[in-house]
Amino acid sequence: MTTASRKSWGPSTLAVHAGNGPDPATGAVMTPIYATSTFVQSAPGVTTGWEYARSGNPTRADFERALADVEGGSAGFAFASGLAAEATVLDLLAHGSHVITSQGLYGGTWRLLHRVRNHSANLSVTHVDASDASDPAALEAALTPRTAMVWVETPGNPLLDIVDLDAIAAFARGHGLLSVVDNTFASPAVQRPLEHGVDIVVHSATKYIGGHSDIIAGAVVVGDNAELATRLGFLQNAVGAVLDPFQSFLARRGLLTLPLRIERHAANALKVARFLDTHPRIERVLYPGLQNHPGHSLAMRQMANGGGMVAAFLKGDATAVASFLQRLRLFRLAESLGGVESLVGQPWTMSHGSVAEEHRLAIGITPQLVRLSVGIEDADDLIADLDAALG
């Protein structure tokens, strides 16, 4: 299959047929799980293309190629977790570098930047809000002589703020910076940042890509930049936080149905958001597919739909929020997101509990905020569950 033909395929065709194709050794339609640590060499240094499983494994390579195709990138790299992927991307930076990031970051990313790399690599960080992250003048103001990277999430976690991908890519390119977009909340079925000129996309593949709450995985995809792909390939092997063959197999299987699942996630999320937006016990709803979302018009330009995540602020105190969470039956109180089942979380204590309290409050994360990962169940059942819990 030629690259040109793949570029003409629709997202569902790509999800099914991307990657390396049938297994060349056996003709298996799906690449088997190659559970081996090493490969025989016919002579010293003469290999079949495989030598040691940390450096490369056929099962992992098929997932990496497939995800790169689906994201519209040139090369993909799979890691043992989303944070392992992010840590390896940060290894591209020299000691003492400065990074400009959006405020809407996953709590684990914030912890990695502020509580690990700040002292291990003397990394410094400037956060800008979503509107500033789309404003070249505001980004210019955040520049320092050591700035090397711009890192954003869009939609942001957990407040679903939207950042202009074209603006970020243009700013980074104009200043010789690397641009990184965490595409976990959207997935490539909703938006493809590389098509906007972004250099690197990162994923917690645990979420929508895996899609079934049964794997822990991370991934990085790069655009048409062979030198950057070579550097990331070196770091993946040198640091060694690679995805194992079984998790790679499951991640590739999840990718097969990603566009189909996302259609249902997004349709359900829009119905749930509309219901919550009119409920008397809800203070405010944030969902990019609602016209009252501050980033709605931008989201509809760069996203295929509003995605499957909904954020809502409940009226009342912490006790009222806890009561709501405990009364839910279909929405299960758990970390993570993006699985076929609906999950609910309180970012204040869960996904963003490691973020400094003053920073949480400064960006609008309060105990009243709940984050809904809307699954693929029947929307009427999900709405009835929320209605009953809200009482």
Using an 8 Å Cβ cutoff, are 164 and 299 in contact? no
Count CB-CB contacts under 10 A for residue 322: 15
Q: Which residues pair with 203 in a beta bridge?
A: 219
Q: Enumerate the H helices of 240-284 as residue ranges.
A: 245-256, 258-277
Q: Which residues pair with 38 in a beta bridge?
A: 52
Quickly count helices (H) and strands (E) in the chain: 16, 12
30 backbone φψ class: left, alpha, beta (φ>0; ψ -120 to 50): beta
Q: Angle at Cα 219 formed by Cα 215 and Cα 221, nearest 5°?
A: 155
SS3 of residue 200 by DSSP: strand
List phi, psi (to 5°) of 309: -105, 140
CA 178/CA 154 separation, integer angstroms: 17
CA 381/CA 283 separation, integer angstroms: 22
Residue 371: which H helix or E strand, with range? strand 369-373
Catalytic residue numbers, as ranges? 54, 106, 182, 207
**Contacts of 370 by beta carbon, 8 Å cutoff, 6+ apart:** 311, 312, 313, 314, 321, 324, 325, 344, 345, 346, 347
Using an 8 Å Cβ cutoff, are 64 and 55 in contact? no
DSSP-assigned letters across all residues of 136-153? HHHHHHH--TTEEEEEEE
